[in-house]
Amino acid sequence: MLGVPMDLGGGRRGVDMGPSAIRIAGLEARVRELGLSFEDCGNVPVDQPESLDPVDPRARFLDEIAGTCEDLRDRVGELLAADKFPLVIGGDHSIACGTVAGIGRHHRERGEKIGLIWFDAHADMNIPETSPSGNIHGMPLAACLGRGPAALTELAHGAPIVSPENAVLVGVRSVDAEERRLVKEVGLEVFTMREIDMLGIHEVMKRALEIATRGTAGFHLSFDLDGTDPSVAPGVGTPVPGGTTWRESHLVMEHAAASGAILGLEMTEINPILDDGNQTAQAAVDLILSALGKSVL
């Protein structure tokens, strides 16, 4: 486990406490109960917003976020080189640029591609020129697909970090107008909540895995807790009603585990300030266990 207490990418404070909330929820003991080894590698250093001035209002705290993502990229690469599975806990979703870069660079050096399943209520496909807020937590998927500031797109020493043909967005239900244009422009496959309602999460994940594993070494699962319904995870940075249910959320993770192709897992946007008795961190721990192979029998 790597914690990334990033609180720079969003407009609402509190997600920097996400890694602590996960630890308090007993992640280590629960993982060990599965018969797996567990190593808590501490937190990647992150600057605090009180001591900073956002230089560019279109991409707030870009330099600081990119610096943390460089550190995270290197730490993830070291874990993979040691044949360890990286579990990254945020923090806001801007951290994904570093996680995906670490996994992408590791496999690129071996002549391999990676896939990406991005589970989120939001598209995260803004760039500084289109973002209505300038908050970078709304830009990381675009950056992973090669669109946006070079400080983020080039983290893996080559853009795009992930080819759009191997990336898929699941659970989305809140998209800005300019994001819609960019989604279509890059050819990103998207399964909105409408598709989940119509097809069922089993069929959606079956199709998503086909996309993310086609010609790749495997896929990274970047899981924003706000992709679930607020009844499942109330303590998130930007909640949106109408997300996946408890069982649908677990089925996402169970499919990822059953595929045998998951290269890394990331949980983001846990905000204890907005939570009720650490319910969201507890839900996140349960979901992580499903992604690591926990089953009923």
Edge-first strand order for the sheet with 167-172 is 2-4, 87-90, 262-268, 219-224, 115-119, 167-172, 189-192
- Establish whether 124 is a catalytic residue: yes
Contact present, 97 and 144 (Cβ < 8 Å)? yes
Please tell me the predicted confidence (pLDDT) of residue 97.
98
Please tell me the predicted confidence (pLDDT) of residue 33.
97
- Establish whether 224 is a catalytic residue: yes
Closest CA to 64 of 42, 97, 41, 40: 97
Domain interval for residue 143: 2-291
Residues of the chain below pLDDT 50: none
Q: Is residue 159 part of a domain?
A: yes
Q: Which of 7, 16, 248, 269 is catalytic?
A: 269
Judge if pTM exceeds 0.95.
yes
Please tell me the predicted confidence (pLDDT) of residue 259.
98
Closest CA to 272 of 88, 68, 12: 12
Kindly give the pairing relationship between strand 167-172 and strand 262-268. unpaired
- Establish whether 275 is a catalytic residue: no
Q: Is residue 138 part of a domain?
A: yes
Please tell me the predicted confidence (pLDDT) of residue 24.
98
Q: Which of 124, 248, 266, 275 is catalytic?
A: 124
Please tell me the predicted confidence (pLDDT) of residue 53.
74
Q: Is residue 296 part of a domain?
A: no
Please tell me the predicted confidence (pLDDT) of residue 179.
96
Please tell me the predicted confidence (pLDDT) of residue 229.
98
Q: What is the CATH number of the domain that holds 104?
A: 3.40.800.10
Q: Which of 179, 224, 229, 248 is catalytic?
A: 224
Contact present, 114 and 104 (Cβ < 8 Å)? yes
Q: Is residue 297 part of a domain?
A: no
Q: Is residue 241 part of a domain?
A: yes
Q: Which of 137, 220, 250, 255 is catalytic?
A: 137
Verify cis geometry, omega within 30 degrees of 0, for the bond prior to 57. Answer: no
- Establish whether 107 is a catalytic residue: no
- Establish whether 269 is a catalytic residue: yes
Q: What does the DSSP 8-state code read for residue 46?
A: -
Q: Which of 122, 220, 250, 255 is catalytic?
A: 122
Q: Is residue 92 part of a domain?
A: yes
Please tell me the predicted confidence (pLDDT) of residue 49.
79
Q: Is residue 95 part of a domain?
A: yes
Q: Is residue 150 part of a domain?
A: yes
Q: Which of 92, 120, 179, 229 is catalytic?
A: 120
Please tell me the predicted confidence (pLDDT) of residue 38.
98
Q: Which of 16, 64, 93, 266 is catalytic?
A: 93
Q: Which of 16, 226, 248, 254 is catalytic?
A: 226
Count how many domains the chain has.
1
- Establish whether 122 is a catalytic residue: yes
Contact present, 20 and 271 (Cβ < 8 Å)? no
